Amino acid sequence: MECNDGISHRQHPNIEKEDLVMNSESIDTERLLMESEKQTYTNKLSSWEMESLTALCDTLLPAVDPPESTTDESVVRFYRTSASMNGTPEHVGRMISQRLRQHVLLGRIILVLLATRLGTFVLGLLGGGLPNLSPRYPFLLKCSEMSLEKRQQLVLSWRTSWFYLVRMIFFGMKRLISVVYFTQVDDNEDYNPIWEAIGYCGPDPYFISKKASESNKQSAYLTPKSLHNQPKEDLCGPLYKGIINVKCTQEILIESLKHSNFQVSINRKKKDCQMQVITIKCDVVVVGSGSGGGVAAGVLASLGYKVLVIDKGDYYARTNLSLLEGPTLDQMYEGAGLLSTKDLGVNILAGSTVGGGSTINWSASIRTPPHVIKEWADVHELEIFDSPLYKEALDVVCEKMEVQSDIDVSDEGFNNAVLRKGCLELGYPVVNIPQNAPKNHNCGWCCLGCKDGKKKSTCETWLKDVVNSGNGAILTGCEVAKVLYGRQKGRNRDTAKGVMFDITSSNDRQSSCVIVEAKATIIACGALNTPALLRRSGLNNKNIGKNLHLHPVVMAWGYFPDSEPLSSLLSDNQGDQVWPEKQKKSYEGGIMTTMSTVVADFNDSGYGTVIQTPSLHPGLFSAMMPWTSGLNIKHRMTKFSRTSHMFALARDMGSGVISTSPFDIKYKMHPIDEANLQKGIEKMLRILAAAGAEEIGTHHYSGSSINVKKASFHEFEKFVKKESSKAIQGLSMPIASAHQMGSCRMGINPRTSVVNQRGESWEVEGLYLADSSVFPTALGVNPMVTVQAISYCTTQSVLEFLRRRKTC
């Protein structure tokens, strides 16, 4: 197990575990070491399943001949290397066996069917073809026996099948295999031989160089004394004094809590019973450490209240990050970054780490738009949003995050430079996006965690207040089972009493039930997990889990070659030279600094789309790009580093439902939302062309594109009109979501909402919700500032509640 600086017990056996205990001011480092422990998974698929899986991997990503003009050895090797030659089937098998949480049974049934001749025949029939027929006995072939050409015909038939489940097979398998193939790393966990061919450097080179240099210095002079003298924030992160990982031994867990001045008691009900009950007492328990929970915990702890923060994710400090796409998706994202709605119609990205979405978001810090505030205050009659308190909240949270909007346009990242230039050329409105990071924070890896703490996530702001106040601690790796509440004598409704969860220590395998008794309970696990927790806890409000909004996103892309056109070599015309600059890559630079509101409709209905830019490293890039053949996808991936993406984000009128699990999500897009997204596609294609892209296209499964430089005006207009009128729903193209909200909405009536204006549950007194789940409607822009502002207001209500309890 390695600490954040790369030091391990194995490397330095002369250092005992006791020597790694910081000092009397800090919590035992053992649980911090556990945060970086490598997670290994076992492949439990049968030989039949692996035979089919290998055939599918080599169908989607086969060994093919490179174009004749290719001379780069790494590119030639990339074309000639199949997925199985790279070990991808084994990696995918492990993911299916132990990491996937959705459609695992369906996937395994399909693999078994493909391992049989009859099963392959049936799946071909459902796709509308019979590619496994053979003129020789036994006349039918199973998937692994078919030629590459026939297997690709089979897979392509699934893409447009009349049977929706078969379409799900295609898009699900294509997404999973693509992500794994382009993110898997070698045994040293730092390299994938494919990356060189596609122009990808892997983790930020500066970060890796700095980390290696510091590690070498520490290794050369490492002694228990030098370890004690090293700045502890550098060693184990800014929250080192407050993190308690529940995977540590129960002895360390209890001692750490007591060391943080929590009252802890142990009760074993029976002498022969191994299950013991650990009771922790505090003023406030906060479930979730993201933008909502972090604010609430920070404010309350700073005012002297004893606060226990609980998060199911782990803590990854600055120097403990890998900045590797695959491992980070697995460690810091819900469902390993592969979460989707039940029908695979929307791919969902959500943080699942200490700091929540604020740890892995793209720094956009946009205040609640005025037209949304007006709608929430006037239409939904929520006076809080038009109050001085909410205005104060917006100012406070923006000041805390050091939000600024001074963008260095001359050194803007690849994607944002393209969006800005295209909009200026066309006369479309374009604005700077405020950032919770300094002007010089041009980092394209912040979706994998912030390497230097310059992005002011809750780990760098509010949670630091919790730890530095001495009034709180943060339990990590801990999933709350249910909220505790009961009816007190003389009351007409239930009162919150705290939360409960089970733990099993990784060392002694001892299981315990932990009860946290609190005067006030704040749930802030996000719009996916909060309603699921409330349902599991037995709350009956029919609105819990309903009205889920996802800010659906669709994308368009443009390819900008990094070689100068022939015309510029034969003339002095500087306008034809390479732009964006040759050294710029699509995955580098500030992720989201520019936005266009050309189809946002802010001044009318308020329901339109904004156009922004995404962060796409190779795994997610390949998952989004359409697949028409193994040769085509490899051709597309060789253009990865110079392919610009932008997306249209809809303020959705459609909504979804969540049950007792965040992995059981149903969502229905409203026709107006689809129409708005189509308008966004039309504008994005024009922006990309105006910015100078050589080739443009969308993610529609047909894979259509056009060479803008060679097309006539009529051909270009025809292409734009056709692509922007194509269907979006029904797995026609990938739809993504990075913002989830509204699943426990705020309102003035318990018949139509879950919480009141104070953020308190209509059903349970002293139970507060403080995250994006309480949004009355979709927001329409990035929600971090709005979440924090609402949480700040809700926290004032919690303070009033605590004061009332104190005087009772």
Pick the catalytic residue from 549, 617, 699, 739.
739
Res 129: pLDDT: 84
User: Burial level of 417, CB count in 10 A (0-12/13-18/19+)?
Assistant: buried
Which residue from 722, 304, 682 is spatially nearest to 472, judged by alpha carbons? Answer: 304
Res 37: pLDDT: 56
Res 571: pLDDT: 46
Q: What is the pTM of this model?
A: 0.92
Strand partners, 20: none
Cis peptide bond prior to 580, omega within 30° of 0 = yes
**Sequential DSSP letters for 348-369:** E--B-STTTHHHHS--B-PPPP
Handedness of CA 591, 595, 599, 605 (dihedral sign): positive
Res 217: pLDDT: 55
Res 12: pLDDT: 35
Which of the residues in the chain have pLDDT under 70?
1-38, 212-232, 234-235, 269-274, 506-509, 564-576, 808
Q: Are 489 and 482 in contact (CB under 8 A)?
A: no
Strand partners, 697: 557, 705
Characterise 419 by phi-psi region: left (phi > 0), alpha (psi -120 to 50), beta (else). Answer: alpha
Strand partners, 351: 333
Which residue from 317, 312, 308, 313 is spatially nearest to 258, judged by alpha carbons? Answer: 308
User: Burial level of 272, CB count in 10 A (0-12/13-18/19+)?
Assistant: exposed
- Pairing between strand 276-287 and 431-432? unpaired
Res 237: pLDDT: 82
Which residue from 175, 61, 52 is spatially nearest to 629, judged by alpha carbons? Answer: 61
- What is the number of alpha carbons within 13 Å of residue 24 lying toward its C-beta? 0
The Cα 678–Cα 552 span in angstroms is 12
Which residue from 627, 605, 555, 643 is spatially nearest to 172, judged by alpha carbons? Answer: 627
What are all long-range contacts of 80-86, with beta carbons under 8 Å and residues at least 24 apart?
Answer: 81/193, 81/194, 82/57, 82/58, 83/57, 83/58, 83/177, 83/181, 84/54, 84/57, 84/58, 86/181, 86/184, 86/193, 86/194
The Cα 551–Cα 555 span in angstroms is 13
Beta strands of 748-807 (E only): which ranges?
764-765, 767-769
The Cα 663–Cα 661 span in angstroms is 5
What number of residues does the chain have? Answer: 808
Res 234: pLDDT: 64
The Cα 387–Cα 376 span in angstroms is 12
Tokens of 196: 């060189």
Res 189: pLDDT: 72
9 is catalytic: no
**Sequential DSSP letters for 538-564:** T---TTTT-SBB---EEEEEEE--SS-
Res 235: pLDDT: 62
Cα-to-chain-centroid distance, residue 240: 24
Helix, strand, coil percentages for the chain (3-state, nearest 5): 40, 15, 45
